[in-house]
Amino acid sequence: MTTTPDSVPAPPSAAHPVVDLRDVTRSYPGGVTALAGVDLTVRAGELLAIVGPSGSGKSTLLHIVGTLDRPTSGTVAIAGHDIASLGDRQLSALRARHIGFVFQAFHLVPGVSAQDNVAEGLLYSGLPRTKRRTMAAEALARVGLADRLGHRPHELSGGQKQRVAIARAVVGEPDLLLADEPTGALDTASGQAVVELLHDLNADGATIAVITHDHDLAARLPRRVRITDGRVIADEHSASPAAAPRKVAGR
């Protein structure tokens, strides 16, 4: 199968894990080792937390899984693609096609409507603007913001801003949604609503990894990968995951 420098082929088989890390290390000058022999497999349809204290290596793991950084050693495959075989432009194409990101700080464009913020997530899709805006409206309806299409970030609550950010991340239906501390900037009620939304998206088939230091949040997800000092120290599955909290009106 051949590719152009800017393109990434579809996964060769649906049997491939969405994420497959084998003996991954990441070291920095000065003898700092952020990851030390990490193995991690995430299959389609999973909802998991990658949980650990500050400095544990979870942010580095996010960057590796999100193809924002390359490992010092080991192998990383995302959606069936070995990232070591891809150039920088191909990695950018892989991210655009296969990975959605949600960050604690929202990263919405000020002065731009919710609909156009979400449509920005399709900017490199090659779709015409009208189609991107239609898909953005559908994604906002999916996260409960059909009545906020024209609202700008300063007109939205924190919980609504995070919903816009989630809509932007999932509008292109990526193979993997990476959520970095998605409730960290929210009040308790808004955070609970976002957790339920993640459960709802997962129930619809989305594969979601939540990176967090919040053990209470992690406990509400069906799988918890615990990382300390750059190593996975536990990989726990719940037989009956805790029920997600119910939505809070207006959040």
Q: Are 26 and 60 in contact (CB under 8 A)?
A: yes
Q: What is the average pLDDT across 92-110?
A: 92
Nearest to 61 by CA among 214, 222, 173, 212: 212
The pLDDT tens digits of the residues spanning 219-233 come to 999 999 999 999 999
The closest alpha carbon to 161, from 201, 84, 104, 211, belongs to 104
Distance, in Å, from the CA atom of 183 to the CA atom of 195, rounded to the nearest integer, reads 8
Supply the Cα-derived Rg of the chain in whole angstroms: 18
Predicted model pTM:
0.87
Which position has the token pair 């942010």? 59
Can you tell me the distance from the alpha carbon of 173 to that of 86, in angstroms, rounded to the nearest whole number? 22
Q: What domains can you pick out in the chain, each with its CATH number?
A: 19-237 (3.40.50.300)
SS (H, E, C) 111-134: CCCHHHHHHHHHCCCCCCHHHHHH
pLDDT in tens, 182-206: 999 899 999 999 999 999 999 999 9
